[in-house]
Structure formats: C-alpha cells, structure tokens
Amino acid sequence: MRIIRFAGESGQATLAAVTDEGVVYALPQQHFMELVTLADEQGTEPLALVRQTIEQSSPLAAKLEELELLVPIEAPEVWAAGVTYERSREARNYEATGGKLDITTFYDKVYDAERPEIFFKSTAARTVGPEQPVQLRSDSQWQIPEPELGLVLTRSGRIVGYTIGNDMSCRDIEGENPLYLPQAKMWRNSCAIGPAIRLAETVEDPYQFQLACRIFRGGVLAVEGTASTGQLKRRFDELVSFLCRDNVLFDGTVLLTGTCIVPPNEFTLADGDRIEISISDIGVLVNPVRGGATAEHSA
C-alpha cells in the first residue's frame, strides 16, 4: 500500500491510498502524518486504518497516471546520510583528490567509522515533488542527481514509510573543500521527493529495494545506473539513531540514506535534462532540470 497526494479538481491537495493493484482511494486525512498519528491514537497501524477506509468507500474514477501528483509529504526537514555505499566513497574520493585513488581521505575514514556522515539537506520550501523542476546552481560546472531511498520518520525516529529522494549535488564545490558541503548540497529546489510513500509495515525487507536512475537529454537516454539497498554499508536503525541523538526531530522528517548510483565522471546535468529515479514497490520520481551556469559563473 502506498500513499500519495494529488491536486483535486479545484486544485486542493488530496491524500490518497494506492493499492498494490494500482487502484486509488481518497483518504479523509489531509496529510500523511495525520494518518500515522490517528493510527497511533487508535492503537493500530496506518495500513489497518487505510484498509478500513477502503472497505467503506469507492475507488476514484481516475487512474493513478491521470492524477497530478504532489510531493507526498511536506517534510519540515530533510536530512541525508553520506558515504553509506562503496560507490559513493569511490566517487567522493575521485572528486576530492582529482582521481589520485592511492590517497586515504576523510571519506575512507567516515565509511569505516562508527559515526556515519549525516548532514542537513533541505526544508519543505526547498523540496520539490513529482514533475516539478529541480534547479541547477549557477556557479557549479559539475552537478549530478543522487538517487536515494528516503525514510519517513516520526518525531521519535520511528520509520513509518519509504519514499524516493534526489539529493542534487555539486561535485566540484564539494571536491574543492569539504567545508563547502552545505553549498554543494543545499540551494533552491535542490531536493526532490516522491511520488509516493510506501507504508513501512508493508515492506518485508527494506534491504531489498532495487533502485534505478535514468537521465534523458533531448529525449535520448544519456545515463543509466542501478543499485540495491542490499549494498548499503549501514543499517537504517543505525542512521536514525545518530540522527536522533541529542536532536529535535519533527513528525514527517525525511532521512535520505545515501547514493549508490553515480553518473560517469565526465557527466554533468544540463538545463532541459529529465531525471527518472525508480525504486521497486515505491514508484518513479520524474523531475525536469532547470537553470545552470550563468555567463557570470561559466568562465
């Protein structure tokens, strides 16, 4: 069972459930976390609550593909873990050392350390949903999407859902100096989430999600990569426990869990590209790319 939000006929945001058969039912709650809170109050799971609603209502006449999907959760904060896959360690080392792979870096250290890398990635105002443009920085010449599984958390750090995230990143800015990380990771529309949230209780093994990323340029496939959460170095509980430690969390916080798909080193995103990120049993997050180097910054 997946939860989506879509724009209704008069434009109002509507929460809905999508069954494994792809049938859509409108839900009475307005937000995903309202559903979670109500289930908690009734001593049940969101899935049971959704099933009750479905039994008492009729499906929407419209098909899922016909709906204008919105970001499934307006996450007050998006955090992200980094260097959680070997592929990310390799790519980060490449950009930090200019390809001198015999040098040991802090990326090697963090990959093996007890404490994971966790950084602040985005806020609701900087995060876009399905089909909304992700933005390129005007002062970076080396930008990529980072396709990542996102954990939807309660304020106590309970994982209540799984979604798809894009941790847009500037490899040149991060590679120049690690202290530039916030600028390499956070700017206007530098994070995308969606198209759906899979209820946590419907996922048997979260280490078996299959991820794929395709980038189209001029309608032609330019980059393609696949990965599995089975390749993760760390456990989700471990990442969440470090995020929660001495911290304040808000209901509906999303924690991105790191990337294992990195485009070839010579690739950089360009205005007009189209990014498709799919995760098995969750869906496909599609975003066009806008912006990029200005004359001022392209020299």
Instruction: Give the footprint of Mg ion on this chain (CB under 5 A).
Output: 146, 167, 259
Nearer to ligand DO4, 46 or 263 (CB): 263
Nearest 10 degrees: CA dihedral of 41, 46, 48, 52? Answer: 90
Which of 59, 120, 112 is closest to 83 using CA atoms? 112
Instruction: Report the residue from 74, 77, 95, 117 that binds ligand DO4 according to the rule CB under 6 A.
Output: 117
Handedness of CA 198, 200, 205, 207 (dihedral sign): positive
Residue nearest ligand DO4, CB atom distance: 82
**83 lies in the binding site for ligand DO4 (CB under 6 A):** yes
The pair phi, psi for residue 194, each rounded to 5°, is 145, -165
Of 14-22, 84-92, 97-105, 283-291, the segment contacting ligand DO4 by CB under 6 A is 84-92
Nearer to ligand DO4, 40 or 119 (CB): 119
Nearer to ligand DO4, 82 or 263 (CB): 82
What CA–CA distances, in Å, run from 134 to 44, 161, 193? 37, 23, 11
Residue 61's SS3 state is coil
**80 lies in the binding site for ligand DO4 (CB under 6 A):** yes
**170 lies in the binding site for ligand DO4 (CB under 6 A):** no
Of 64-72, 75-83, 237-245, 270-278, the segment contacting ligand DO4 by CB under 6 A is 75-83
**122 lies in the binding site for ligand DO4 (CB under 6 A):** no
DSSP state of 186: -
Strands (E), the chain: 2-7, 13-18, 24-26, 69-70, 77-82, 117-123, 127-128, 134-136, 143-144, 147-153, 159-167, 169-170, 191-199, 210-217, 220-228, 253-256, 274-279, 283-291
Nearer to ligand DO4, 74 or 146 (CB): 146
Q: Which of residues 150-169 bind ligand DO4 (CB under 6 A)?
A: 167
Nearer to ligand DO4, 74 or 117 (CB): 117
Which of 230, 217, 233, 235 is closest to 275 using CA atoms? 217
Nearer to ligand DO4, 88 or 287 (CB): 88
Size of the site for ligand DO4 (CB under 6 A): 11
Q: Provide, rounded to whole angstroms, the least separation between the CB of residue 168 and ligand DO4.
A: 10
**95 lies in the binding site for ligand DO4 (CB under 6 A):** no
Of 31-39, 76-84, 203-211, 277-285, the segment contacting ligand DO4 by CB under 6 A is 76-84
DSSP state of 201: G
Sites of contact with ligand DO4 (CB under 6 A): 80, 82-84, 88, 92, 117, 146, 167, 258-259
